[in-house]
Structure 1
Amino acid sequence: MLKHLKTLSGHQNPVYALANSDDDNTFFSAGNDKGVVEWSLETMAFVKVKMPVQSSVYYLHYYNNQLFVGERSGAFSVYDVKEDKVIARVNAHTKPIFNIQVVKSKNELLTTGEDGSVAVWSLSDFSEIFRFQAAYDTVRAIAISPDETEIAFGCKDHLIKIYNLADYSIKQNLDSHTLPVTSLAYHPSGKYLISGSRDAQLKIWNLPSYELAQTIPAHMFGIYGIAFHPTLPYFATASQDKSIKLWDAENFKLYKILSLEKGEFGHSHSVNKIIWSNEGKHLISTGDDKKVIIWGLD
């Protein structure tokens, strides 16, 4: 299923963020050190430090040749990959930014984080359009439904809050986790929403009813990432328990555990982020051990 291909070193501190580019051969990482790093999937090697940063980076998001860099300072930068330079820097929040997403149908950018507010920005000029308070404390995760009609926020107060994307009105609160919600993902067809929490549980919410269909004791500690494969019926989860797990997206059967306990390769500390490469041949993971690991799907 998944096998270790390469461990990339070079970061000096924990890594929190990963993002693909449009190019199948390039991805980016960033964390608690001084820059955003570009890597090659073709050579499985360091390419260059793409840009310096003024504070730790907690989130990277790539869209339309632009890399959005969310910082601990509460600011985000916009790096134009074609122009090879930073084209904007916005002091968006008073506290760290933990998530950034694009609403393609509305040409909007969303940022959120430790202050619990969600800011909506124009992708044309990065001006602020709207801002609302989704929670009184940290919002860690954002997931946008495949049809872009709704958006889910994972909150520190254990709630998942569903909003209408048309007007950012509240639609539903989902209350089942016992600790902060740290990861969210919609099934690619939109038939369910999956949530992960510091309570180590995965919860499957049927759509459009929002009925809790299943609770899976998936990990030993907090679940920091959920990533659906771009074409195959799998999803992967990443955890503070140092493991990555591969699951069946239809029946939630566990296929594979990637960890030092189960094999020769894995992370020695918390796994903070996972992404699939655009074409789905690779899973990329990173975490507190400062390493970036590339796994191959066979």
Structure 2
Amino acid sequence: MQIFSTETQGMINVTKKATMSGHTDCVYSLADCPEESSFFSAAGDGMVVKWNLNEPDSGKLVARVPNSVYSIAYHESSELLCVGHNYEGVHFIDWQNQKEIGNIKCTEGAIFALRPYKNMLLVGDSSGAVHMLDVEKRSVLASVKYSDKSARSIDVDPVNRQVAVGYSDHSIRILDLATLDLVSTITDHNNSVFSVRYNPDFQYLLSAGRDARIIIRENERDYVQVENIIGHMFAINNIEFSPDGKHFVTCSMDKSIKVWDSDRFKLLKVIDKARHAGHGTSVNKLLWMDYENTLISASDDRTISAWDIKF
């Protein structure tokens, strides 16, 4: 186990580019947009908003639903925005025309995770079920349930044809990508797993959650643990990689964002309220955009921040 309590100084310059406000409840999810300077957000207020970094003061309402939205995802092959509408399934939005074109009520629970892959969408819900949807046909291809606790995060390894799912029962389950059959169960966290992410070359699986640890495993060696880091003071909500894969970021209920080196798993920078006018409450989600290497963060404080990261 490694504990990193201090950061490497002078390697990164961080500047806040903009603060975007307009949501009236906690902001839970962020998603890419095909327009290079834009992204989507969703919140507890049921609003799904498109933001343009060149006009950060004027978000555009794309959709509004009656219940909280914990997860959204842009589905590239269909060009649709997928919205996990709690208790009402997944809605598919023509975001350019602010029009819903279909939905699949695959669950009556809260939807915590959406992960597009080719023509499919993987969905994790509060009952512990994982669903594989065909977005274009609006159909359910498969549904599996290996736990009674929430499926909180999903990522796909297309090289080894596997799916990693983080659960509130403290485990990660590795599923077969084609069938969703259970391949293995990983039990090295001691609390809910909120984020699972394969690194860009699919050599490692990173995970984090309520135990405030970042655990790194080597995929080709049956997910053997290679690092176990106390990453934050409180629960870690999300892990996100930089576009070039050289760095990753984590965000936490401790109100901070941390920047890490992907090769050495070393802490490089802490972004917080005291040093960078960061968020005042839990940071829930991160999105690292190609556009000007901009990092986006979303928080319980109902705001979204855009950060300029220079190495």
On whether the aligned pair clears a TM of 0.5, the verdict is: yes
Shift of residue 296, structure 1, vs aligned partner: 0.8
Structure-1 residue corresponding to 2:236: 223
165, 168, 172: which one aligns with 2:177 = 165
State yes or no: 1:38 paired with 2:50.
yes
Structure-2 residue corresponding to 1:68: 82
State yes or no: 1:252 paired with 2:265.
yes
Q: Give unmatched runs, 5+ long, in structure 1.
A: none
Structure-2 residue corresponding to 1:240: 253
The answer to which of 51-60 and 39-48 deviates more is: 39-48
The answer to which of 283-292 and 6-15 deviates more is: 6-15
8 Å CA contact 1:234–1:246 kept in 2: the answer is yes
Structure-2 residue corresponding to 1:295: 307
Structure-1 residue corresponding to 2:285: 273
State yes or no: 1:200 paired with 2:212.
yes
CA distance in 1, matches of 2:219, 2:140: 31
Task: Write the letter of the residue equivalent to 1:99.
Answer: A
CA distance in 1, matches of 2:292, 2:228: 27
104, 107, 112: which one aligns with 1:98 = 112
Identity of aligned residues (%): 33
8 Å CA contact 1:231–1:280 kept in 2: the answer is no
SS in 2 for 1:46: coil
CA distance in 1, matches of 2:59, 2:299: 20
CA distance in 2, matches of 1:182, 1:93: 20
Q: Give unmatched runs, 5+ long, in structure 2.
A: 1-11
- Report the aligned-residue RMSD: 1.4
Structure-1 residue corresponding to 2:195: 183
SS in 2 for 1:51: strand
SS in 1 for 2:232: coil
Q: Which has the higher contact order (CA 8 A, sep 6+)?
A: 2
The answer to which of 73-82 and 112-121 deviates more is: 73-82
8 Å CA contact 1:70–1:97 kept in 2: the answer is yes
CA distance in 1, matches of 2:236, 2:190: 13
Task: Write the letter of the residue equivalent to 1:293.
Answer: S
SS in 1 for 2:220: coil
CA distance in 2, matches of 1:280, 1:67: 23
Task: Write the letter of the residue equivalent to 1:36.
Answer: V
8 Å CA contact 1:103–1:148 kept in 2: the answer is no
Task: Write the letter of the residue equivalent to 1:76.
Answer: V
Structure-1 residue corresponding to 2:103: 89
CA distance in 1, matches of 2:63, 2:121: 21
CA distance in 2, matches of 1:42, 1:16: 22
8 Å CA contact 1:230–1:280 kept in 2: the answer is no
CA distance in 2, matches of 1:20, 1:232: 17
CA distance in 2, matches of 1:198, 1:62: 27
TM-score, length of structure 2 as denominator length: 0.91
Equivalent residues in 2 for 1:119-158, closer than 5 Å: 119-147=131-159, 149-158=161-170
Shift of residue 83, structure 1, vs aligned partner: 4.3
8 Å CA contact 2:213–2:228 kept in 1: the answer is yes
Shift of residue 166, structure 1, vs aligned partner: 2.1
Q: Once the two structures are superposed, what CA deviation does each residue of 1:200-245 show, in whole Å capped at 9, x if it has no partner?
A: 0000011111101110000011111100111140000011110000
- CA spacing shift, 1:227–1:81, aligned 2, 3 Å: same
Shift of residue 84, structure 1, vs aligned partner: 3.5
TM-score, length of structure 1 as denominator length: 0.95
Task: Write the letter of the residue equivalent to 1:248.
Answer: D
CA distance in 2, matches of 1:167, 1:13: 37
State yes or no: 1:3 paired with 2:15.
yes
8 Å CA contact 1:152–1:163 kept in 2: the answer is yes
For this pair of structures, how many residues does the alignment match?
295
93, 111, 114: which one aligns with 1:79 = 93
8 Å CA contact 2:131–2:140 kept in 1: the answer is yes
